[in-house]
Each structure stands twice: as C-alpha cells, then as structure tokens.
Amino acid sequence: MGVGKNPPWSKPVNVEDPFEGKFIAVFDRHRFSDRFLNAYVRIEVQSLWTQDYVRLLLTAKDRDCYGYHGFLSSSYCSEVINTKSIIKLFVKIDEEIYLIPGQHNTFPINAELADALRGAPEQDVQIRLVTESGASVDSKIGQKTVKAWQSIYKPILSRGPD
C-alpha cells in the first residue's frame, strides 16, 4: 500500500515505497501547544516506526499577524510553519531511558530498543526530541501506537539446523 498525506495513524500497515521497498510500519502523530524557542506555538510530532528505524517530523506552527491602528484581524494573519532538524531522540519506557542518536531526523532501532518497544506497557510513552539548535521538545507516543509496536518489533528467532 502506498501511503499518502493522510496515513492510517496508530495501526500497523504494509508500506510499499518506490525507494525503500516493502516494509511494515506504524505512523503516529501528537499535536499540542507549548513554548518553543521563546514563542508560544502549536507543535506537531509525526513519527514513522519501522523495524529498522524511526523517522520523525517536528513542526512548529505560529501565526504572523499585523494590524491597522493596533487592531488585529485574522484576515491580516498568516500561518508560519517551521520544521526542525532533530539530532537526538530519547524514549522513556517504564523508568528506562533510551538515547538514540541519529541524523536527518532518522534514528536506528537496534535489537535492545526493539525488545523494549515490543515489551512496552500499553500506555502513552514519553519521548524527548533534541534539535540541532539544542532546543528540546517533550512529546508522547499514543497508547494505540505502543500496542502496534508488538506487531512491528516481533522477536527474530534464530534458526537451528533443519
């Protein structure tokens, strides 16, 4: 299945990508408002969890308004959307914190992390994203996505002699 701009959120899906091939993945999205770099903005964190990596997109949406004689009207406002480059990802499962360094918003999933993700309790999981500028954003992965990790991160069984 090719996945467009509105993927099925928090459900395991089979993805067919013309560059990366076929793989199973789960998409997650968390939206909230918070302060970021000294401004109050709407933040959206989207993630794509695959067996080999997690890819993140962090956007900060702000309104740029100007008015006439000090009167602000929404007709004089435009939405400004900035994406941020993420260089570190922290995932907190129970009391264990996993630091995953990455590049270009992509972070490798090793066997230890895959086991932790698969075994995570079915509840929201806290994450922290660190941007190139050093700013950090705390977000979460929803309970339905955490449950879907059980399908994504199945244990790899070693094969013995036949």
- Can you tell me the mean pLDDT for 64-80? 52
In a domain, 104, yes or no: yes
pTM of the model as a whole:
0.80
In a domain, 78, yes or no: yes
Question: Whole domain around residue 38: which residue ranges?
Answer: 12-65+72-152
pLDDT at 44 over 50: yes
Provide the domain count of the chain: 1
In a domain, 157, yes or no: no
Residue 159, pLDDT score:
37
Task: Kindly state the tokens that stand for 157.
Answer: 């069984």
CA distance 159 to 124: 34
Residue 61, pLDDT score:
75
In a domain, 93, yes or no: yes
Q: What is the pLDDT of residues 106-122, one digit of tens each?
A: 999 999 999 999 999 99
CA distance 98 to 91: 5
With a pLDDT cut of 90, the percent of the chain lying above it is 59
In a domain, 80, yes or no: yes
| The 3-state secondary structure of 67-102, one letter per residue | CECCECCHHHEEEEEEEECEEEEEEEECCEEEEEEC
In a domain, 132, yes or no: yes
In a domain, 159, yes or no: no
In a domain, 2, yes or no: no
Residue 157, pLDDT score:
54
